[in-house]
Amino acid sequence: MKVIRQTAPSAQNYRPSCNLFTGIVIHLLLGLSSCHSPRAQTVDIPVREDSLTVVRVIVAGDAMAHGPQITRAKNPQTGEYDFSGCFRYLEDILAEGDLTIVNLETTLAGAPYTGYPQFCAPDSFALALRDAGFNFFLLANNHSADKGAKGVRRTVEKLREMKVPTAGTYLDGEDRMARYPAMVEINGIKIALLNYTYGTNGLSVAPPLSVNNLNDTAQIGADIETARAKCADIIVAFPHWGTEYKRYPDKRQKEQAAFLFRRGVDVIIGSHPHVVQPVEYFACHDGDTAKVKPVCWSLGNLISNQRKEHTDGGMLASFRIVKNKNSQSTSVENFETIPCWVYRDRDTYPGYFVLPVDRFQEDTATFTFSAEDKATFERFARNTKELLGKTR
């Protein structure tokens, strides 16, 4: 696992202006406004290759631990839980990333362990994700409060013990002020990471604990201003939003995306629907300067026990942040998706395996799929690639 440095620089007197322009949306998204931040602009000047510095970001969707997954991961001889095999086929992909992010959609509240509807996974579930190569965890989702105050507190504390930086839930106001917005500096590029959820399934979180609220636009606006004041080169938002099992963004998602882009966010990557939703783009203008900003509406499930059509997998999002050290401009390039299917194999421990689709359409030796599994795998691959416009 690559270890990243999470920074919290002192605020400076930097406050770029943000002018609003009518959004020109590439592909399907219509009628939303967008904006331009001078800290993330594209400039049309010749550059020398050695003037560029690059960070590769890889993001995964919902890492869920349903009851059957927990049961299957228990070693009958030792009584210990081991999920490491679930992610072994992602390790080489994640090794190519500098910043590798996952949405941890369970609590680490300690035994007894439970799946749906109120999730609590063994600590080894998070360790397996970390050891596979994920080096940043998102915690604001609708299951953040499943185990009450103990779950919120222990999840933050255990991940801190594992030396995994996080965003989305906090022990108190001082903790939030110190760690949010999450500022990560890699290769001289300062990246602000924002994470919010639409709600917590009606479960309240009593102060001083807190879960970032996607509906609190005043707080989000203040968080973005703080990221600017801390000289973020780029701002990436991870909203937990949308309608479960819907393959296209709903009206509220579009409104929230417009707000985030208008306030200065550069990239949006969403979670929660448990199915893959499209990747679309905003074209942002400031005079003669234009910049395209991506929104990945939903990454779907990284791992879960869900088996209905479209829910049995998800995708990784991968992109490069490129900074010109001479002009100090920053751009997002090479935005790509990597569909992954969850194979459930009752005969092979630990029973669940995240398989990159392209690789396992070619590799027929590692696993011997039944006719039913083969058909399900191909259905997921076909459906996902068609949705993303990548049908072979």
133, 90 contact by CB (below 8 A): yes
What's the pLDDT tens digit per position in 81-139?
999 999 999 999 999 999 999 999 999 999 999 999 999 999 999 999 999 999 999 99
pTM of the predicted model as reported, rounded to 2 decimal places: 0.88
Q: Which CATH code is given to the segment(s) 5-387?
A: 3.60.21.10
82, 126 contact by CB (below 8 A): no
CB count, 10 Å around CB of 68?
Answer: 15
385 or 25, which is more confident: 385
What's the pLDDT tens digit per position in 158-174?
999 999 999 999 999 99
270, 261 contact by CB (below 8 A): no
Percent of the chain with pLDDT over 70: 85
What's the pLDDT tens digit per position in 308-359?
999 999 999 999 999 998 888 999 999 999 999 999 998 899 999 999 999 9
CA distances from 21 to 29, 340, 343 (A): 15, 37, 45
Q: Residue ranges per domain, the chain? A: 5-387
Ramachandran category for residue 73: left, alpha or beta (phi over 0 → left; psi -120 to 50 → alpha):
alpha
